[in-house]
Amino acid sequence: MYRKTERMDDIDTMFSHLLGEMDTLSQSLMPAADSPEVDAGSQGNCPISIGFSDLNESLNEMEDQDLDALVADLESTSDGHDPGDQGAGSLAAASATLGPAWEPKAAATLPPPSNSVESSEEMVEPQTKADRIHLALEKLKEAKVRKLIVKLLMSDGSSKTLMVDERQTVREVLDKLFEKTHCDCGIDWSLCETNSELQIERGFEDHEHLVELLSAWTRFSENKIYFLSRPQRYLMFTEPQLFYMWKKKTACLSGIKEEAKQLLIKEHFGGSTVIVPDLEGKLYLKEDGKKLWKPHYFMLRASGLYYVPKGKTRAISDLVCFVRFEKVNIYTTKNYKHKYKAPSDFCFVLKHPCIQRESLYVRFLCCDDKHTLSLWVNSIRIAKYGTVLFENYQTAVKKASGSQPLHFAADRYNSAAPNPAPPKTTNVEDYPHEPPPDFIPPPPPSQNTHV
Amino acid sequence: MASWDLAVTVEDLGSDAPAVTLSVASDLHVGGVILKLVEKTQIKRDWSDHAIWWEQKQQWLLRTAWTLEKYGIHADARLLFMPQHKPLKLGLPNGKTLRLKACFSRPVFQTVMGICKILDIRHPEELSLLRPIEEKKKKKDKDSAEEIYDLTEVPLSSASRPLLYDGMPAHFADSPEMEAVYKMLSVTQPPPAPEVIAKQYRPASVVDKAHINGRWLDSSRCLMQQGIQENDRVWLRFKYFSFYDMDPKYDVVRLTQLYEQARWAILLEDIDCTEEEMMLFGALQYHISKVSQSEPQMVSSNAAMDDLDSALQSLEVKLEGESSSHSFTSTINMISYFRPKRLTLKGYKQYWFKFQDTSISYFKSKEESIGEPIQQINLKGCEVAPDVNVTAQKFLIRLLIPAPEGMNEVYLRCENEEQYAQWMAGCRLASKGKTLADSSFQNEIQSIRSFLAMQKKSSHGNAPTNDESINTHSLVSPRYHKKYKAKQLTPRILDAYQNVAQLSLTDAVMRFLQIWQALPDFGLSYVVVRFKGSRKDEVLGIAPNRLIRIDLAVGDVVKTWRYNNMKQWNVNWDIRQMAIEFEGNINIAFGCVTADCKIVHEFIGGYIFMSTRSRAKSDTLNEELFHKLTGGHEAL
């Protein structure tokens, strides 16, 4: 217990520190109001940066209702997170709770209940000091949140403009778009980035943070984001046999039963380790800086993509690591037969997300046909993202089946405060308790055997 | 009924003592025989563990209500009265030997359950016993010097005693010796000396790997029936590679022993991995051995305290992060270029460098550092690689910094170890998006220092020093002993080490196991078989979810059958052939060459048993089902 008491004292000291820091922080944010970006935002001290195009232009392009929504967004944001007067007020309340003289009345200085989530959070009196620390930390984070105004292109050629803050995942942006577009909320909807210079595209993964992804773009980037349905997005979960039984003929795979699929998913994604498809075969590799493609034997392992640069044996000692997936993303390509004289148009690209132009650090690979390309691209996604990809899929399925009422999400986004616990985690928790049925074990050996 | 003389040897009277002769009738039940026997010996002791073994029939007379007639026992029967639990030398996955009392009268499945209870290993169905590989006679004198941990004093009923507060079973707290045994079981062993690895048997081919599987004991028969005698040595190993419900909180011994088995599988190339993977396994072993020396046990601390700790930690980080006081500066030589311009290589130039948050900035001189830097480079997402040679005093940091046009290559040449450790640590944190204020910064510096120290020592390796420090050859398989000198391995392992250096002991062990389980050949047990109608030997690979057929000529998998398509399987014991029917009228049959067909049958049935386990039923083991699935309908 002694140790714990000491801790608590520490917390007190830290809290007073924290308050001091908050002051400095809010002051340091004030001058930001002079910057033209925020001026255009006109709502005060939210650090908003502009995306890839002119802000005024984007704002002009917005539909009236969207603009209203954006303004509402900004207002609530500044209400909730203004590190100036109100923010300091709410923090003062928080700090007062540490003193012995604290009375519930102090709650009156809390922000107005217009942002429902946050206020409900604070109605419940923080149980422990740890809770209060968490709360204070949240506030601290709020003050520094980066926001982007993003123009998303629809498949019908129209566009939507959204404000996205850096904490929002692609999943959350998709949910927001579901509300705005009244689409079918299916699992195939995705945000897709295109790079016209390299003629590549990539569907963002649902757990990625949109603002972070966009910050890799250059200032005058021609890159675009599309909101569209990509039918093969979760192919590894809807048709797992294509990946985990890829050596079998497609004819025998087509008749596979649903429970056999569920078993495959359980075997490869249900354990403590995600099992990557044991893909291997010939791919064409574009020679550095040349329009020359040479065939090599490639092999996918959980630790990376390997190939046999020379010789013909495929012994483990001949395998050379071609690339590991931690720092590269996988992109599909358009019209590479023409652009790079590729053997086919079924190519994929591995590169660091920051690289936007052709470079020696961009790896170009080419497959024989569309099916092989789909196998490699999706299997590499499994190797790169592992369990997260499966969680994304489960969330997407839940979303599509409408098990989560839409208004819940709506509430969340009209209010400024983030929900500290994303609903995703509960979904993931739920799943393992209802495992797909196991296959029925074969009957014990028949009687006619010799004993 | 006529009475006749029955001679029973009582083991406790000594091997020279004559058999005790009883006058019995055929309708006397076994319990009555035992009662008479005990009275006649006139020894007062606890006989409850004793039972009668019928030598000719190789059978225990465990049904005490059965009469001699029912068992078919006549005066010529050689009967032995002895304890059912006898000492057994158990070779553990970590290479240590343990002496404990195991059950010799029940099916091996139950014997293993009993052993696992004493050792505190959950899910005993995943383990089994193997006959060890015969050791060469030469090593005999060395064997006698081997340390044997003794657990024979553990009372048989002790398994039902409650666990102690830290998860250790109570019987391990009885004495300091017992605690030492628990430590051996629950703490990972230090890396073995390279010579020890080199000396061990290494399978060179898939056929070699198949031979070990002929050594598994039959789970449905008892030890006595399989010729295992008191004080014989057997190996305890994980047999079914389908590990259920791993929980570091309850599985301290289980995880440690599994890690040891996996580590040896990697070191002895029992499972193939690539060079990159080997370096990562090496780095994890290094880290695990280092952390387990400082952390006595894998005891997980109170969850609530953890929360508070992490909250405090992030608070600390936040506060320090805001205060922007975390930066450091020094004079460093730098060279930077874009790869296409590599040919126009210029020499290093000296600048005044400043490290702040996740960026480095450089200035012409210290005096100009108040103004705008020549360049500021954000290291977030960049690649950091060491290029170090302590003896040559070369301390280079190679940075690959992504930019829209490609990667910028920057080399920082540090003056000395200290400067290098600080800047390298900063670069690594920054590449992960962490600032210098992060609590791991000091640890990072420490781990770089210790690795530099390691290189220093291994560079003195020319002289035969008896160095206490880890030789990097201890961390990789002998193939790499030949390929690289210890000195050359150090930077490779260091490179992999940066990604794992911050893991806790438990996390590092779990990571090791995860990477092992993700290897393509993981979980395969091989047997050489002869398919019906085929004239050549082929290899059958048995995995948790499928069977594979490997053509030895091609050396490749030619066929895969999944268990979920299996309709039925059986054994023809007369010709010792296994037949399996799969959906779609696919029938296969094969005889087994390197293992008894009971072993193969048990493997397949065992895996099907493993897949029937579920959370709800996990407390009780359905032993009956196991025997039903693995027994091949052989009379028990």
Helix A64-81 to helix A406-414 angle (10° resolution) is 60
Predicted confidence band of residue A119 (pLDDT cuts 50, 70, 90): very low
A232-246, B176-190, B614-628: least confidently modelled range: B614-628
Whether residue B273 lies within 8 A of chain A, CB to CB, comes out as yes
Answer whether B80's CB lies under 8 Å from B37's CB: no
Burial (CB < 10 A; 0-12, 13-18, 19+), residue B585, is exposed
Nearest residue of chain A to residue B634 (CA atoms): A451
- Return the residue matching tokens 């009244």: A182
- Express each pLDDT in B287-304 by its tens digit: 999 888 875 544 444 444
Predicted confidence band of residue A120 (pLDDT cuts 50, 70, 90): very low
Nearest residue of chain A to residue B319 (CA atoms): A18
B626 chain-A contacts, CB cut-off 8 A: none
pLDDT in the model for residue A61: 55
Interface contact flag, A359 B383, Cβ < 8 Å: no
Which residues 6+ apart lie within 8 Å of A113 measured at CB? A119
pLDDT in the model for residue A272: 83
- Express each pLDDT in A296-342 by its tens digit: 999 999 999 999 988 777 888 889 999 999 889 999 999 999 999 99
Q: How far apart are CA B36 and CA B9, in angstroms?
A: 13
Nearest residue of chain B to residue A328 (CA atoms): B381
Distance from CA of A398 to the nearest CA of B (A): 24
- Return the residue matching tokens 């079973």: B169
B584 chain-A contacts, CB cut-off 8 A: 252
Interface contact flag, B272 A316, Cβ < 8 Å: yes
pLDDT in the model for residue A256: 85
Interface contact flag, A302 B274, Cβ < 8 Å: no
- Express each pLDDT in B105-157 by its tens digit: 999 999 999 999 999 999 999 999 999 987 665 554 555 557 889 888 877 66
Interface contact flag, A445 B615, Cβ < 8 Å: no
Burial (CB < 10 A; 0-12, 13-18, 19+), residue B80, is middle
A165-179, A437-451, B176-190: least confidently modelled range: A437-451
B340 chain-A contacts, CB cut-off 8 A: 360
Give the nearest partner residue to A445 out of B383, B479, B570, using CB atoms: B570
In what side-by-side order are the strands of the sheet with B148-150? B127-130, B233-238, B85-91, B97-103, B148-150
Interface contact flag, B405 A133, Cβ < 8 Å: no
B positions 503-532 inside 8 Å of A (CB): 510, 513-515, 517-520
pLDDT in the model for residue A65: 57
Full-prediction pTM beyond 0.90?
Answer: no
Q: Where are any strands of DSSP class E within A224-362?
A: 224-229, 280-286, 293-301, 304-308, 320-323, 329-333, 347-351
Q: Where are any strands of DSSP class E within B92-187?
A: 97-103, 127-130, 148-150
Q: How far apart are CA B604 and CA B582, in angstroms?
A: 14
What is the percent of chain A where pLDDT is above 90?
39
Q: How far apart are CA A343 and CA A333, in angstroms?
A: 13
Classify residue B159 by its DSSP letter: G
B574 chain-A contacts, CB cut-off 8 A: 450
Q: How far apart are CA B102 and CA B60, in angstroms?
A: 15
- Tell me how crowded residue B256 is: count the other CB atoms within 10 A of its CB: 25
Classify residue B67 by its DSSP letter: B
Helices (H) and strands (E) in chain B, counts: 17, 24
pLDDT in the model for residue B33: 94
Q: Which of B258, B276, B524, B598 to mutate to test the interface with A (most CBs of A within 10 A)?
A: B276
B609 chain-A contacts, CB cut-off 8 A: 441
Average pLDDT over residues A237-262: 87
Cα A139 off chain centre by: 23
B positions 569-628 inside 8 Å of A (CB): 569-574, 584, 608-609, 611-612, 614-615, 628
Q: How far apart are CA A423 and CA A409, in angstroms?
A: 10
Classify residue A106 by its DSSP letter: G
Interface contact flag, B402 A355, Cβ < 8 Å: yes
A353 chain-B contacts, CB cut-off 8 A: 381, 402
In what side-by-side order are the strands of the sheet with B349-356? B375-378, B359-363, B349-356, B327-338, B406-414, B394-403, B383-389
- Express each pLDDT in B526-564 by its tens digit: 999 999 999 999 999 999 999 999 998 877 889 999 999
Give the nearest partner residue to A354 out of B339, B381, B479, using CB atoms: B381
Q: Residue B448 pairs with which residues in a beta bridge?
A: none
Q: How many contacts does A have with B, using Cβ atoms within 8 A?
A: 164
pLDDT in the model for residue A9: 55
Cα A284 off chain centre by: 30
Predicted confidence band of residue B375 (pLDDT cuts 50, 70, 90): confident
Q: How far apart are CA A308 and CA A419, in angstroms?
A: 49
A249-258, A385-394, B330-339: least confidently modelled range: B330-339
Please choose, from the candidates B630, B621, B614, B612, the residue with its C-alpha nearest in 3D space to the C-alpha of residue B125.
Answer: B621
Highest mean pLDDT among A85-99, B185-199, B432-446: B185-199
Q: Which three-class secondary structure state does DSSP give residue A368?
A: coil
Predicted confidence band of residue B285 (pLDDT cuts 50, 70, 90): very high
pLDDT in the model for residue A420: 39
Q: How far apart are CA B170 and CA A293, in angstroms?
A: 66
A83-97, A152-166, B6-20, B451-465: least confidently modelled range: A83-97
- Express each pLDDT in A178-225 by its tens digit: 988 888 889 999 999 999 999 999 999 999 999 989 988 988 889 999
Phi-psi region of A151 (alpha: psi -120 to 50; beta: other; left: phi over 0): beta
Give the nearest partner residue to A137 out of B307, B315, B611, using CB atoms: B315
B322 chain-A contacts, CB cut-off 8 A: 21, 24-25, 140
> Torsion angle of alpha carbons A160, A166, A172, A178, nearest 10°?
-10
* Residue B7 CB-half CA count within 13 A: 9
Burial (CB < 10 A; 0-12, 13-18, 19+), residue B463, is exposed
Given the DSSP bridges, would you call strands B233-238 and B127-130 parallel, antiparallel or unpaired? antiparallel
Interface contact flag, B276 A304, Cβ < 8 Å: yes
CA angle B221, B226, B227 (to 5 degrees): 150
Q: Residue B413 pairs with which residues in a beta bridge?
A: B333, B396
Interface contact flag, B514 A272, Cβ < 8 Å: yes
| Single-letter amino acid, residue A399 | K
Task: Give the residue ranges of DSSP H helices in B432-518.
Answer: 440-459, 478-483, 486-497, 505-517
pLDDT in the model for residue B336: 59
pLDDT in the model for residue B374: 85
- Express each pLDDT in B295-334 by its tens digit: 554 444 444 445 555 555 555 544 444 444 467 777 776 6
Interface contact flag, A272 B517, Cβ < 8 Å: yes
- Express each pLDDT in A132-167 by its tens digit: 667 766 766 666 778 888 899 998 888 899 889 888
Distance from CA of B361 to the nearest CA of A (A): 20
Q: Residue A295 pairs with which residues in a beta bridge?
A: A284
Task: Report the sign of the C-alpha dihedral through residues B364, B366, B367, B372, in that order.
Answer: positive
Q: Which of A4, A21, A25, A352 to mutate to test the interface with B (most CBs of B within 10 A)?
A: A352
Interface contact flag, A442 B566, Cβ < 8 Å: yes
Classify residue B519 by its DSSP letter: S
pLDDT in the model for residue B414: 86
Give the nearest partner residue to B322 out of A21, A353, A356, using CB atoms: A21
- Express each pLDDT in B7-62 by its tens digit: 999 998 888 888 999 999 999 999 999 999 999 988 888 899 999 999 999 999 99
Interface contact flag, A319 B323, Cβ < 8 Å: no
- Tell me how crowded residue A311 is: count the other CB atoms within 10 A of its CB: 9
Q: How far apart are CA B389 and CA B517, in angstroms?
A: 35
What is the percent of chain B where pLDDT is above 90?
47
Nearest residue of chain A to residue B247 (CA atoms): A272
pLDDT in the model for residue B346: 60
Q: H or E element: which one contains B529? A: strand B525-531
Phi-psi region of A160 (alpha: psi -120 to 50; beta: other; left: phi over 0): beta
Interface contact flag, A441 B629, Cβ < 8 Å: yes
Q: Which of A273, A349, A387, A451 to mutate to test the interface with B (most CBs of B within 10 A)?
A: A273
A273 chain-B contacts, CB cut-off 8 A: 513-515, 517-518
B544 chain-A contacts, CB cut-off 8 A: 267
Q: Which residue has the higher pLDDT, A50 or A94?
A: A50
Give the nearest partner residue to A442 out of B403, B567, B584, using CB atoms: B567
Interface contact flag, A130 B311, Cβ < 8 Å: yes
Give the nearest partner residue to B402 out of A317, A324, A352, using CB atoms: A352
Residue A76: C-alpha distances to residues A17, A70, A73, A163, B176 (Å): 28, 10, 5, 13, 65
Interface contact flag, B315 A133, Cβ < 8 Å: yes
Average pLDDT over residues B72-80: 93
Give the nearest partner residue to A14 out of B319, B520, B634, using CB atoms: B319
Interface contact flag, A444 B518, Cβ < 8 Å: no
B positions 425-484 inside 8 Å of A (CB): 479
pLDDT in the model for residue B72: 94
Mean pLDDT of chain A: 71
Q: H or E element: which one contains A240? A: none
Q: How far apart are CA A244 and CA B503, in angstroms?
A: 31
Q: How far apart are CA A214 and CA A193, in angstroms?
A: 9
Mean pLDDT of chain B: 84
| Backbone dihedral angles phi then psi of residue A389, each to the nearest 5 degrees | -60, -40
The yes-or-no verdict on residue A346 having pLDDT over 90 is yes
| Single-letter amino acid, residue B385 | A
Q: Where are any strands of DSSP class E within A171-328?
A: 189-195, 200-203, 224-229, 280-286, 293-301, 304-308, 320-323
Nearest residue of chain A to residue B404 (CA atoms): A355
Q: How far apart are CA B84 and CA B105, in angstroms?
A: 5
| Single-letter amino acid, residue B296 | P
